[in-house]
Amino acid sequence: MLNLVWVRTFLALVKHKSFQAAADNLRIAQPTASSHIQKLEHQLGVPLFHRSRTGCEPTREAMNFLPYAQSILRVNERALAAVSGERLRIGASSNIGIYLLQPYVRSYLEGRDPSAFDIVIDRNPSIAEKLENVEIDVAVLEWWDSRDGCQAECWKSEPVVIIVPPDHPLASQAQISRVELSELELLGGEPGTGTGRMLAEYFGDSAQVPRVSLQLGSTEAVKQAVKAGIGISLVLASTVLDEVRVGSLRAIPFVDPPLRKDLFVAWRTSISGIPTPAFAQHLLNADCIEALSTTPAPARFPLQEV
């Protein structure tokens, strides 16, 4: 078993590149810091630092070990926080964290201490990995790949639209069909959002599907590219409400059938009997209440409003 104290000294030495500086940072004696590293090197069976009169540099083996050492301490901190009930850490894929989650966070925090609540926003694969590695308590994602020790439920089904600039030939259309979509070339957004999976399900066994080019890395980058006339793209309707209202983009919904993306909330269930986390339950319950008290989803998005 790795000693957490040794791992902490290792990280301090990587950062400061000096045994004395690392020891001062940790408020321990320099010989103690040296002893920690020697013991860790012996346990791992590899040298971790090149020592010299001017300091020390991490070896290749140390750099390979570094992300695991960082993860070990993060998990340790999360474990202590979980036992004490002090903090809740939520992970969300970029589109959800930027465009959808805030009203639910606001309602959840009513009567609670906001300083005990953290949100991590990252690419979908990274958020799924953080949940699996116990770095977050609840994940809200654009797709879920059924990881061991975790449970997920469908949270929302969001309409997907095609966005075009106001002067585009498609801008005057009130809707677009699956056949029309199959003939288009699209700008790609953030990798790992599950758009490819969604299109595969939408087109089924069809031989013709849209071509995707220019992976732009984020929905914001996609929106700016479409505004500039570089191309057109698929996005969640909720990500372009502001642009549609001011008329800088046109958002065209799909028919026969509608195109929607399922969003998921996931949490760990590695031990039998663990209850659904309060925030996950809040999301699931809040969406049920919303569905019962509002008009059907397509009418909730003023897609062609200028």
Q: What is the mean pLDDT of the chain?
A: 85
Measured from the Cβ of residue 217, the count of other Cβ atoms closer than 10 Å reads 14
Phi, then psi, of 159 in degrees rounded to 5 = -65, 140
Residue 5: which pLDDT band, with cuts at 50, 70 and 90? very high
User: In sequence order, what are the residues at sequence separation of 6 or more whose Cβ sits closer than 8 angstroms to the Cβ of residue 23?
Assistant: 29, 30, 32, 33
For residue 138, give both structure tokens. Answer: 């609840």
Distance CA 44, CA 246 (A): 60
Structural domains of the chain, with CATH: 4-81 (1.10.10.10), 84-155+262-300 (3.40.190.10), 158-261 (3.40.190.290)
Map tokens 């979509």 to a residue: 181
Q: What is the DSSP string of 251-262?
A: EE-EESS--EEE
Map tokens 């997920």 to a residue: 152
Distance CA 260, CA 255 (A): 11
**pLDDT, tens digit, for every residue of 34-44?**
999 999 999 99
**pLDDT, tens digit, for every residue of 112-162?**
888 878 899 999 999 999 998 888 889 999 989 888 888 999 999 999 999
Segment 239-256 mean pLDDT: 93
Measured from the Cβ of residue 140, the count of other Cβ atoms closer than 10 Å reads 28
One-letter amino acid identity for 112?
R
